[in-house]
Amino acid sequence: MAGPCCSTSLRAVVFDFDSIISVGIIKRDKFVMAMDFNEQLIQSLSAEEQIENFGGEDRIRKFCAFLGALRSVGIELYIISTGFKYLFAPLMQAVGLLEYFPDEHVFGQIEQVARTGGCIKGRLIQQIRDEHGWANTDVLFIDDSASNIADAKDVCLTYHIPQSEEFGRHGMWDEHFA
């Protein structure tokens, strides 16, 4: 396993959802993100649009293989998103990605606020890390937001995947799954 998850000492990988797991699509002139103001838009996505939102069937297969490889070596998988779990979890379920993440490891905005009082991803990662007795180097956080990465840099390893200028190429791709 190479790419951002090649460390043999990792105990957990924490993924952002929008623009990391999903790649985003445009529908009705709006960028599809798992935010409450997009609820009707997200719920109107066809099966084909849901697949497209994750980069297509080939990317979904590769992502599933990647997540399966991480789990097969004992790495725990988490999602921490400022999006809403009630919106992104069904999308992930529809394409077969949710099965890699236990429900108690999936945090949207509501779950973050309930647990930490805010939406600072680094704070939640620290809580998770401390509950398990993990060191900073045992946890890797992958996000597209430089500010989220900055908030977490002192509590875990971080890997920043900036949003591509090429629309539809946001998120993790072949070079990250290698």
pLDDT digits (tens, 9 = 90+) for 34-62: 676 678 888 888 999 999 989 999 999 99
Show Cβ contacts of residue 27 under 8 Å, excluding neighbours closer than 6 positions: 41, 44, 45, 49
Q: What secondary structure letter does DSSP report for 138?
A: G
d(CA 118, CA 24): 25
pLDDT (tens digit per residue) in 96-144: 999 999 999 999 999 999 999 999 999 999 999 999 999 999 999 999 9
| 3-state SS class at 106 | strand
pTM above 0.85, yes or no: yes
pLDDT of 7 over the 90 cut: no
d(CA 145, CA 153): 12
pLDDT > 90: percent of the chain? 67
List the one residue out of 82, 75, 81, 72 whose CA is nearest residue 134.
75
